[in-house]
Chain A
Amino acid sequence: MELDSLYQEVILDHYKHPQHKGLNPVYTAQVSHVNTSCGDEITLNLNVENNVITSITWDGQGCSISQASVSMLSDLVTDKTLEQADAIVKSFSELMASKGTAAGDPEVLEDAVVFAGVSKFPGRVKCALLGWMAFKDAAIQSQGESK
C-alpha cells in the first residue's frame, strides 16, 4: 500500500517514543515555529558549545510525521559541529524537495532516509520540515552565541 511508504515503522516508532522531547533549560537559542496550515507547534532549545551541539531538546504537538522527524533530527545532530549539522539539514531538505525521486544518503541521514516516502506526499513535506526549519533557525542564532 502506498500509505506504507509514508508511515514507515521507524517513523511510527519515533512518534510513539519521541527522543529529546522535554525542554532543557540550558540553551544558546530557543525558537518556536508553527505550521500555519494545521496549527502544529514546536519549541526547540539548542545548546552549542565551542561550535558543537551539546544539547537539542524540543516540545510541541503535531502529527506523526512532524514529531518523528524532529525526534530523528535531534538524534542526528547531537554532538555534531554546526557545519556538520548544516550539511545534514541541506541533505534532508534536498530529499524533501525530491518529489519521490531521491532515496537520500544513508551516510549522512542515517535512519532519516525513511522520510524519502514523505516527499511523494506534497501535503506532508511541511510536516516533515517543521522541526528542521526550527533547528536551522536556532543554529543560525547560536552561531554568534556559542563560545
Chain B
Amino acid sequence: MSFSVAEVRKDFPIFERTIRDGKRLVYLDSGATAQKPWVVINAESDFYSKHNAAVHRGAHQLAEEATDAYEGAREIVAKFIGGQESEVIFTKSATESINLVAYAMGNALSGNRFALSASDSIVVTEMEHHANLIPWQQLAARTGAQLKWFNVTQDSRLDLSNIDQVITANTKVVAVTHQSNVLGTINPLEAIVKRAHEVGAVVVLDACQSVPHMSVNVVELDVDFLAFSGHKAVGPTGVGVLWGKAELLDELPPFLTGGSMIENVTMTTATWAPVPQKFEAGVPNMAQAVGLGAACKYLSELGMDAVREHEIALTGYALEKMSSIDGIRIVGPLENVARGATVSFTLAEIHPHDIGQYVDSQGVAVRTGHHCAWPLARAMNVPATTRASFYLYNDERDVDALVEALLGAQKYFGRF
C-alpha cells in the first residue's frame, strides 16, 4: 500500500480547522508534540465512557475490562518496539522513564550491578535533550561518579574519534539520544553499544524522536533501556514508556514505591512485585496507556518503514528548498543521510522568536528557542534556532508554505 498524506490527514481532526483568520494549518512542530488521529482520541474517550475502573484490582467486570485494555496496550507497545510485554513499563512521560532509571540506579546498594561510586563514570553526549542530560548530571552529583560526554562536530555528528577514552572500564552507563531533537542527526548506535557492552556498561537510549518516525527494534539495537513518550507518537499526553532488558529490570531497584508494586508488606518491610509492576506504583495513567496502544496500532498499520520513507523524501525536499533561501544556516546535517525530518535553522540576523511569530501569522507552526538542549545550542554557536519538524501528515505543500513564510519574514523585518 502506498503512503498517502491526503488519506493520513483525514484521520487527524485538527486539520479540519483553520488558523489565524482562515489560514490552512501548517503544523511543523511534531518534534514537540504530534497531532492525534481519531482512533487515539476515541480509544481514550471509550476507556472513560465504557471501561473505566482501577486496573489490577477490584472484583468486578469493569476492573477486568480496564485491566484487559491496559495490558492489551502493553502487548501492542511491546510488539511495536520488538520487546517482551514484561519488559514494558508505563510511565507518565519519557522524562519520567529516564529519571526512573537514573533514580533507581541511585538507590542501588553496593554489590548491585547498578551501584555507582566516585570511581565510576556516566557518559552522555553534547546533543542530549535536557531530559537525558540533567537526570545523569544529578545522579553523578549524588554518587560522586564522573560525568563524561561525546562532543558534537561542526557537521552535526557525534565525535566518536575518542570513543575508547570516553567509554572506559569505569563506565557504568551510556545515555544517548537515537535522534537529536534539534539537529535531526540519527546517531550511529552500533559503535556506541559495542563499546559500552565491551566494558560492561548499560546503554540508555532516548528514543523520543525515533520511535514515532522509524521502525525501532530493541533486540536489533541491543540497547539495554529505551525511553519514549506517547504524545510524540500520535498518542495521548501523560504516558511514556520505559523498556528494559528483563534481567536488568529484575536487578534494578524500584524508584517510586507504594501500592501495586509490592509482593508482601509488613509494618517495617516490603518485597517487590515482579517487573513490570515493580516499576508501576499507584494507579497508572490507564486511559492514556490505552490511547498509546491505539497510536502504536495506527502507526503499525501505516507501516513504520513507509513513514520513514515518506519522511526521508520530505526531508530531502525541505533541505533543498530551504537551502535556497538567502542567509539561511541549517543547524544540522546538510546531507539527507542518517538524519530525520527535523530541520533547525537560523535566518541571517532575524531572531528565531521573531521568525516564529511571523510564520505563525501565515498559519505555519514552528518551535523557536534552544529546544531544551541548551549545551547543544552553545556548541553549535547559536543562541537559539527555529525548528521545523515534519511528520507523517506533512507534505511538500507544507514545505512550500514554510519557505514562502520565511521569505515573507525577511521582507517584513527588512523594512528598516
A contacts, CB < 8 Å to B = 1-3, 6-7, 9, 12-13, 16, 37-41, 61-65, 121, 123-124, 127
Q: Which B267-310 residues have a C-beta within 8 angstroms of A?
A: none
Kindly state the interface size class of chain B when it binds its partner.
20 to 34
Report Cα–Cα, A121/B289, bound state, in Å: 35
Question: Chain B contacts of A62 at CB under 8 A?
Answer: 351, 353
Mind listing 17 A-B residue pairs with CB under 8 Å? A1-B361, A3-B361, A7-B413, A12-B415, A37-B369, A38-B368, A38-B370, A38-B384, A39-B374, A39-B383, A39-B384, A40-B383, A40-B384, A62-B353, A63-B351, A64-B351, A123-B357
Which 4 pairs from chain A and chain B are nearest by CB?
Answer: A63-B353, A63-B351, A38-B369, A39-B370
Q: Which B358-416 residues have a C-beta within 8 angstroms of A?
A: 358, 361, 368-370, 374, 377, 383-384, 412-413, 415-416
Contacts across chains A and B counted by CB atoms under 8 Å: 52
Report Cα–Cα, A64/B361, bound state, in Å: 16
Partner of B383, one of A1, A7, A61: A61
Q: Is the CB of A127 within 8 A of B361?
A: no
17 additional A-B residue pairs with CB within 8 Å, beyond A64-B351, A124-B353:
A3-B358, A3-B361, A3-B412, A7-B412, A12-B413, A16-B416, A38-B352, A38-B369, A39-B374, A39-B377, A39-B384, A40-B384, A61-B383, A62-B353, A63-B354, A65-B353, A121-B357
Report Cα–Cα, A64/B416, bound state, in Å: 13
Question: What's the least CB distance linking B49 to chain A, in Å?
Answer: 33
Report Cα–Cα, A124/B354, bound state, in Å: 10
Partner of B369, one of A2, A39, A41: A39
In the complex, residue of chain B having the shortest beta-carbon distance to the beta carbon of A41: B383
Question: Chain B contacts of A123 at CB under 8 A?
Answer: 357
Query: What sequence of 0s and 1s flags, for each residue 163-198 of chain B, a beta carbon within 8 Å of any chain A beta carbon?
Result: 000000000000000000000000000000000000
In the complex, residue of chain A having the shortest beta-carbon distance to the beta carbon of B369: A38
Question: Chain B contacts of A12 at CB under 8 A?
Answer: 413, 415-416
Question: Chain A contacts of B374 at CB under 8 A?
Answer: 39
Question: Chain B contacts of A65 at CB under 8 A?
Answer: 353-354
In the complex, residue of chain A having the shortest beta-carbon distance to the beta carbon of B361: A3
Q: Is the CB of B357 within 8 A of A38?
A: no
